[in-house]
Amino acid sequence: MFLRQPTAIFTAGRPLHVHISFIFGSLFLILAVALVAFAYVTGRATALSQASALVDAKLDNLISRSVGQLTEIEAIVAALANTSKLAVAGRGDPTGKLALLRDTLSRLPIADGLYVGYPNGDFAHLVSLERGAWRRTLSAPPATSFAFRVISVDPNGPRSSIWTFFDSAGRFLKRTEPADTDYDPRVRPWFKLAQAKAGMAWTPPYVFATTGQTGFTISTIMPDMPGAVVGVDLTLQHLGQIFEQQKITPGTRVMLFDSKGGLLAFSGMNEANSGKGITHGDIILRTEREPLIHEVYRRSSELGRARARSFSFKFGGQDYIATVKSAWPSANQRVFMAMATPVRELTADVARSNLNALGISILVALMSLPVVVFAARKISRPLHQLSGEARKIESFDLADSVPIRSRITEVRELEEAMGSAKLGLRTFGLYVPVDLVRQILNSGVSPTLGGERRTLTVMFSDIQDFTSIAEALAPEEVMLLLSEYFSIASKAILGNGGSIDKFLGDGIFARWNAPQRIDEHEVWACRCALEFQEQISLFNERQRSRGKPVLETRIGIHTGVAVVGNIGTADRLEYTALGDMVNIAARLEQINKNYQTRILVSAEVAVAVANTFGVRRIDEVLLKGRKQAIKVFELYPYT
């Protein structure tokens, strides 16, 4: 009757008030979404047009600033190349090379270093330790701001290098001892290009000899000293950091290409982005860690080298717009810059406005629904409460229900029927183990005749000389005495995971591991027996103090395989355990009187609980009705 069936009570669904609210809310939302969608489409088109113009203008500004800086660098290098103070090779500083280079380097904030290479192989090089990787490369004093290196060639000896360190005020700090070096400026790319090209020469990216950083050099020859070259190093990482500061959105990427299409730098790059590979020469920028940069670089290359070009593309699930433009830092040097920006970030304001509009529309819709929702809840609340009561019955929670208020006749009739069902099940639970009823309800299958073989632990208990006790008492007193006794027994059995199979006059038949499975059921049964005896001893003390009869209890426990299931007829069933092992437990309880013991267990039980409780072998007994003797043990608690 109360099994899980596909009825309305147990079918998953939504509350009634949700359906009512949904219908009306949907009407409002459909209209609101349609209006917002129209506004979004028109607003997005406008935003994209404005965003494209913004990217174009921002790129123009960036080109102007970047090209301005590069043009300024070329002008300073050209002026430096025409200075006679640098036209002296060798060691020492007779013409003030150091002061001139330091003053020039201070006017080039993005430069990594300045140097002069001479036709005889001499080299003068000034670097700032506040920039790039020089501080970690050189073993310089902590206060060092500038380092000046001179490489000279001794006709009678090897090529040697000396570093001199100065603080920010130009004060001398330390000079290194001459050290042999194989660095020869005449074989470096910047030197060769300047010698071969009129005007300013730009090298492809290459690895700097001392720091290992990647960058390029702008260099030119010195008119007053044929064969000498002045150069300035620019690191790609530093250019990338400058580009990073010029982004118009967090997802914007800026790139710089040389005239041959080689990728020079991009926003956010670091030393890990450079290495061996694809650009001209032996160096590439590793764009695999920045897939978007690689994609824009590839598309820009495919578009050719027109003066300006804009395009859109999809990458990584996002739409982008990009612009590529050319610039001329000098008359003979052309570069290209590209900027790519996510459309989502460019249209964020439009999306935010549309989201606000949608929120306002939803708010208006919600403000229009309170009356509908209130009425729907008023109708559906009692049904929801009754649904909860039905679920309690499903889990065999049969506590009294909270009164349900409703003006609907059908709801009130359903509440009365639910109360009657709970009362019937509570009564039913007094005669049948609750665990068994709950298991049947949860299974969703009607119980049938039959059973299964399962290893159980069975306990029988009986009151010593109960017949004599009962003869001396009125029937009502016997019933009250047994009820109190059974209450103590039931609490011990159920509290230790067991089930009461049946009451046998003054005896009890209990089992473990059926219907609910339980690990170490032998241990639980023995724990129950010891607890039962302890509570009966306390009960007997109270009985003696009141001058009433005491109930000495004998217990037998055995473990074995039995058939457990339903027996009886098609219209009346009993869940129980049958088998020889049940008879053994009953016989163990009976022979307690032969040994003046309280709890006897079989050898199977003794072995299972020997590490938990005390067991003492009593005898080997041939039980009534059996052909083979069994070993009998007394159970007692460890003290």
The predicted pLDDT at position 105 comes to 87
Can you give the pLDDT at residue 196? 87
Q: Is the pLDDT of residue 391 over 90?
A: no
The neighbour count for residue 80, using CB atoms within 10 Å, is 21
- Reply yes or no on whether the pLDDT at 88 is more than 50: yes
**The pLDDT value given to residue 2:** 39
More confident residue, 626 or 360: 626
624 part of a folded domain? yes
Q: Which tens digits make up the pLDDT trace of 176-217?
A: 988 888 889 999 989 999 888 878 888 877 788 777 787 888
Q: What is the pLDDT of residue 584?
A: 94
Look at 346 and 329; give whichever has higher pLDDT.
346
Show the domain range for 382. Answer: 374-431
Long-range contacts of 279-285 (CB under 8 A, 24+ apart): 279/204, 279/205, 280/204, 281/189, 281/204, 281/205, 281/206, 282/206, 282/207, 283/204, 283/205, 283/206, 283/207, 283/214, 284/205, 285/205, 285/214, 285/236
358 occurs within a structural domain: no
> Does residue 321 or residue 526 have the better pLDDT?
526
Residue carrying the six token digits 């002296």: 88
- Checking if the pLDDT of 281 tops 60, the result is no
Q: State the average pLDDT over residues 132-149.
A: 86
In a domain, 594, yes or no: yes
Q: Distance (Å, rounded) from C-alpha 71 to C-alpha 384?
A: 78
Q: Which of 209, 168, 178, 165 has the alpha carbon at shortest distance from 191?
A: 209
In tens, the pLDDT along 477-486 reads: 999 999 999 9
Please indicate, yes or no, whether residues 621 and 482 belong to a single structural domain of this protein: yes
CA distance readout (Å), 172 to 143, 175, 455: 11, 8, 94
Q: Are residues 412 and 465 in the same domain?
A: no
Please write the tens of the pLDDT for every residue from 564-621: 988 888 777 888 999 999 999 999 999 999 999 999 999 999 999 999 999 999 999 9
Beta sheet of 263-266, edge-to-edge order = 263-266, 253-257, 333-342, 318-330, 308-315
Which residue did the predictor score with more confidence, 335 or 492? 492
For residues 383 and 488, membership in a common domain is answered with no
| pLDDT (0 to 100) of residue 1 | 38
**CA distances to 85, 88, 90, 91, 101 from 94, in Å:** 9, 8, 10, 9, 14
Mean of pLDDT values over 269-284: 48
Mean pLDDT over residues 325-336, rounded? 69
Residue 388 has pLDDT above 70, yes or no: no
Residue 237: which residues within 8 A CB-CB, separation 6 or more? 132, 213, 214, 215, 265, 269, 270, 271, 273, 274
331 with 421, same domain: the answer is no
**pLDDT number for residue 41:** 67
Tally of domains within the chain: 3
DSSP 8-state code for residue 150: E
- Do 314 and 169 share a structural domain? yes
Boundary (domain end) residue, out of 344, 362, 392: 344
Whether residue 452 is contained in a domain is answered as yes
Q: Residue 277's pLDDT is what?
A: 41
For residues 120 and 267, the model is more confident at 120
**Predicted local confidence at residue 325, as pLDDT:** 77
pLDDT at 441 (0 to 100): 58
Ranges of beta strands (E only) in 236-369 are 253-257, 263-266, 274-276, 283-285, 308-315, 318-330, 333-342
What's the pLDDT at 251?
79
**Do 470 and 403 belong to one domain?**
no
User: Above 90 in pLDDT, residue 560?
Assistant: yes
- What's the average model confidence in pLDDT over 356-364? 69
Most confident of 169-173, 237-241, 416-420, 489-493: 489-493
Q: Is residue 440 part of a domain?
A: no
Same-domain pairing of 605 and 524: yes
**Would you state the pLDDT for residue 415?**
62
Whole-structure pTM value = 0.47
CATH code assigned at 588: 3.30.70.1230
| pLDDT mean across residues, the chain | 79
Whether residues 113 and 76 share a domain: the answer is yes
What is the residue type of 444?
G
In a domain, 224, yes or no: yes
Single out the residue in 344, 366, 384 at which a domain terminates.
Answer: 344
- The confidence score (pLDDT) of residue 332 equals 63
425, 454: one domain: no
The pLDDT score that the predictor gives to residue 457 is: 96
Predicted local distance difference test score (pLDDT) of residue 286:
54
Beta bridge pairs of residue 601: 557, 633
pLDDT of residue 278: 38
In this structure, the answer to whether residues 280 and 385 fall within a common structural domain is no
Same-domain status, 588 and 558: yes
Looking at the structure, tell me whether residues 424 and 453 fall in a common domain.
Answer: no
Q: How far is CA 578 from CA 213, 526, 563, 581, 583, in A?
A: 87, 21, 5, 8, 9
Domain membership flag for residue 369:
no
Q: Calculate mean pLDDT across residues 292-309.
A: 66
What share of the chain has pLDDT > 90, as a percent?
A: 28
The whole-number pLDDT of residue 445 equals: 45
Q: How sure is the predictor about 81, in pLDDT bands with cuts at 50, 70 and 90? A: confident
Give the integer Cα–Cα distance in Å for 499 and 532. Answer: 14
Q: Which domain-ending residue is among 297, 326, 344? A: 344
**Residue 324 lies inside a defined structural domain of this protein:** yes
Q: What pLDDT, on the 0 to 100 scale, is given for residue 272? A: 47
